[in-house]
Amino acid sequence: MKIEKINRSMVFQKGIKVVLAGLMTLILMYISSNVYHKSPFIDVEFQTSQNKTLTYQVFYTTDDKNPLNFNEKQSVKKNVPAGLHTEHIILPTPKIAQFRFDVGEFPGEVNVLKITLKGKNEQILNLKDFKFVNIDSQTVQNNQLMLVSKQKDPQMIHQKPLNIVPYQPVDWCFFFGLLCIYGAVSYAVISYLSTLKFLGNQALVDVIFLCLFFGSLFLPMMHISDETKSIRENRMLAKKPTISEIFKEKSEYGKAFENWFNDHFFGRDQIMRLHDETRYKINKIIKTKNRMAHDNEDFIYFKKNGWTFSLPFWNMDPKIIQPIMKNITKFNEFCKENNIKLYLLMVPRKEMIYQEYLYNYGFDKKQYKRLNEIYVNLKEEVQKMNVPFVFPLNEMQQGKQQDYVFFKWTHHWTDWGAYIGYQALMKEVQKDFPDIPVVTLNDYDKSQNKLIRDGFYRNYWKGDFELIFHLKSDETKGANYTYYDHKNKNLLRIKTGQYTKEFSYPDGKYRILLIGNSMNENLTQFIPYSANVLKYIRVNIRPLPFTELWKIMKLYKKDILAFKPDILIFSFSNDHLYHLQDLF
């Protein structure tokens, strides 16, 4: 029995030695972390599209007191050829206070699709958070920037605080070598100390173990942060309660003190960063078996099939129908006075077409039925005024059996979906203009591409949901889209403005004015070939407050009268229907 007790005691003692040696090794590795880390850096990833080679230059500062004091010494340049490119600029810095993005010299038209700072964490910069210097015009829509500058030094200066931790790669050979040396030395030191006696024949190693254990309980109090706001959590931190509050309400003081301590203890930022990074990695892999939702649950991505959708699902107050009808009536009277035929095209939301994926994630069939009834009733009331109202819901639900009618990684319809909408629209137009040309798919060359073409400048990209969920190309689960380009596109003349385009086609007829939102981009693959002249006005990319964007008569009445169209097509997605009460 004595031998067993001695053996157990020896095993216990060796276990304590190993634990203490491990703790000592970790402390030594932490203290000498700069030895086995390489130089820190931040990776600036940016995606741009331009018509010529430009030299982009990124400036950065490290002084929190003077974050906008940029200089050439803290900058990096990179040449980017014409076209659509994703490029990287490495900033050799252990810290970044603020950021400036220079867009070459005399760049002309440039489309900035995204700017991402990558370190230990990742921050996609909101392009609305930039101050624009030496830039003639700029528009930000869906976190994409379209700018025009004919000046020498156009600058984009970031204004909001940055929350990026530079990446500092580990030299793993040096790391493991140092770990082995520290581990051996630590164990030798602890073994030597364990032979010494202290406090009445008590082994010194036991005393050290107890001291370290109880001392670790006080580590959170080593430094109390005086920060008042957490940028990472986007909230104000709890305030320290005053002593006088003890006498007011003891239980409330205890809760207030606990909240303050939990928000300010030593090492909290490091723990939060580790938590966020771990949560993000787990979220990418196993948040649920079938889906991944965005942080605020406003978007959803299905892992099995690669589809993405917008949340929450829309609702509509039937009371807004009356002001909508009033505005349509007034708008139609204006068109009649000026010999213009008005047509309304309402594009169904992606979620209405592919609703079967969403039944388990908040899609309310009863609500959908009520909304559809509102749309049908509205369509009937509008058509009583002799205003054609096209809502190709049934056509698109049938068309999805043949090909994609919406892109998986954006909320826009595909060329095929837009063609279905075009056919439904032209069916109504031909009732009033029977000689207007209507194109068919036989007039087009077909091509396939895994990338998405849905924007004002007709560039290919991965889609806005790729930015939201940090998705890779293979996560579309085999999506391959069909694109249609007219065989006589060389005869089409296009003049592009800041938020307008004018198409001229010799074989078309009539002057057509197309007004609406981004759903019209793929529609312009077809409608210009029916018109002799088509003017397209994109209403939601102007640099105006959101509440002003859809005041069509206030903003574009002069344009309408000057263009003198025979046909006016007002096109919008159904979740923008409520904007029709703001036409004036």
Measured over the CA atoms of residue 2, residue 5, residue 7 and residue 10, the dihedral's sign is: negative
Radius of gyration of the chain (CA): 32
Q: pLDDT digits over 79-123, tens only?
A: 888 878 889 999 988 889 999 999 988 888 888 988 999 988 888
Helix axes 204-216, 2-31, angle to 10 degrees: 50
- In angstroms, the CA 491 to CA 148 distance is 27
Measured over the CA atoms of residue 276, residue 282, residue 284 and residue 286, the dihedral's sign is: negative
568 forms beta bridges with 342, 513
Q: Which amino acid would we find at residue 266? A: F
Tokens for 214?
């109880």
- Identify the pLDDT of residue 289: 46
Any idea where the domains of the chain sit in the sequence?
42-158, 225-264, 309-582
Who wins on pLDDT, 233 or 270? 270
Task: State the fold for domain 42-158.
Answer: Lipoxygenase-1 (2.60.60)
Mean pLDDT of all residues belonging to the chain? 81
Q: What is the largest CA-CA distance in the chain?
A: 111
Q: What is the DSSP letter of 529?
A: G
Q: Given phi > 0 = left and psi -120 to 50 = alpha, else beta, which region is 199? A: left
What is 21-84 written as a DSSP string? HHHHHHHHHHHTHHHHB---BEEEEEEEEESS-EEEEEEEE--SSSTT---GGGEEEEEE-SEE
Across residues 248-269, what is the average pLDDT? 70
- In angstroms, the CA 584 to CA 578 distance is 13
Q: pLDDT digits over 475-500, tens only?
A: 667 789 999 999 999 999 999 887 89
**Residue 481 CB neighbours (<10 A):** 21
Q: Find the helix or strand (DSSP H, E) in which 341 lies.
A: strand 341-347
Cβ neighbours of residue 533 closer than 8 Å, sequence gap 6 or more = 502, 503, 504, 508, 511, 512
Q: What is the DSSP letter of 248?
A: T
Q: pLDDT digits over 8-54, tens only?
A: 556 666 777 787 778 878 877 777 776 677 778 899 999 988 878 89
- In angstroms, the CA 398 to CA 303 distance is 25
- Identify the pLDDT of residue 473: 67
Measured in residues, the chain has a length of 584
Q: pLDDT digits over 167-190, tens only?
A: 888 777 778 888 888 888 888 777
- Identify the pLDDT of residue 286: 40
3-state secondary structure of 480: coil
Q: Decide: residue 520, CB within 10 A, 0-12 exposed, 13-18 middle, 19+ buried.
A: buried
Q: Given phi > 0 = left and psi -120 to 50 = alpha, else beta, which region is 297? A: left
Question: In terms of pTM, does the model score above 0.75?
Answer: no
Q: pLDDT digits over 569-579, tens only?
A: 999 988 888 88
- Lowest pLDDT segment from 274-278, 324-328, 433-437, 536-540: 274-278
Work out the pLDDT band at 301, boundaries 50, 70, 90.
confident
Is 522 a residue whose pLDDT tops 90? yes
Who wins on pLDDT, 526 or 83? 526
- In angstroms, the CA 96 to CA 419 distance is 48
- Identify the pLDDT of residue 482: 95
3-state secondary structure of 497: coil
Given a contact cutoff of 8 angstroms between Cβ atoms, the answer to whether 352 and 368 are in contact is: yes
- Lowest pLDDT segment from 98-107, 425-434, 467-476: 467-476
202 forms beta bridges with 198
Who wins on pLDDT, 357 or 221? 357
Cβ neighbours of residue 516 closer than 8 Å, sequence gap 6 or more = 345, 537, 538, 539, 569, 570, 571, 572
Q: pLDDT digits over 122-135, tens only?
A: 888 989 889 999 99
Q: Find the helix or strand (DSSP H, E) in which 146 lies.
A: strand 144-149
3-state secondary structure of 448: strand
Buried b (16+ CB within 10 A) or exposed e, 423-443: bbbbebbeeebeebbebeeee
